[in-house]
Amino acid sequence: MASSAITAGSEPVFHLEEEHAHAEGGSTMLGFWLYLMSDCLIFAMLFAAYGVLGGNYAAGPAPKDLFDLGLVAVNTTMLLLSSITYGFAMLTMDKGRVGATQAWLVVTILFGLAFLSIELYEFAHMIHEGATPQRSAFLSSFFTLVGTHGLHVTFGIVWMVTLMVQVARHGLIEANRRRLMCLSMFWHFLDVVWIGVFTFVYLMGMLR
């Protein structure tokens, strides 16, 4: 059997003789998507921890005593608005309009900062009332989950500022378009995680 494969004295070749050329950055989007999926697993762990520990108040404050759904609704609106304005930035980027792209990025950053400010105000208010992360397992897991999401938003804003500088210096070149597309995925992904946060942590917490 083996001898039949080796015919006419030449070794059989089971691989391409030369690797075909890849366009530069052609696999970046898939690679970044895989990163987002691994990030998704981090959040899954934190959600699982919150799901297990979320009912252990240690005779401390419960969600009903702490959460202000009106504030969370405003927060959710800020993040959703920042998502759509980033979408507008991508649309103007497609048309090659640098000024409009930068302007939409600024609007997105402002909404992102509004989200962070409201979240920090909420955290400060809770800590002021004695609901610190050390108070109970519920609060430890709450601050870890929501705080991790907030950190992601923070770094997303830092990344956005960096890209605005890049676009200002080099314009909407191919590399910058690719980077903006990666950040687009990151930003929309954070909004997807927030859907989980406001549903499982805030809304279900109030139902408990």
Partner 1 sequence: MSAHDHADRDHTHGGAAHGSLRGYLIGFVLSVILTAIPFWMVMTGAMDNKQAAAIIIMAFAVVQIVVHMVFFLHMTPASEGGWSMLALIFTVILVVIVLSGSLWVMYHLNANMMPGLHEMREMP
> Contact positions toward partner 1, by CB under 8 A?
20-23, 26, 29-30, 33-34, 37, 40-41, 44-45, 47-49, 51-52, 69-70, 72-73, 76-77, 80, 83-84, 87-88, 90-91, 93-94, 181, 184-185, 188-189, 191-192, 195-196, 198-200, 203-204, 206-208
Closest to partner 1 by CB, 29 vs 120, is 29
| Least distance to partner 1, CB of residue 9, Å | 30
| Least distance to partner 1, CB of residue 3, Å | 36
Tell which residue, 117, 119, 111, 120, has the closest CA to residue 83.
111
Closest to partner 1 by CB, 12 vs 70, is 70
Closest to partner 1 by CB, 85 vs 116, is 85
| Least distance to partner 1, CB of residue 114, Å | 16
| Least distance to partner 1, CB of residue 165, Å | 22
Closest to partner 1 by CB, 36 vs 127, is 36
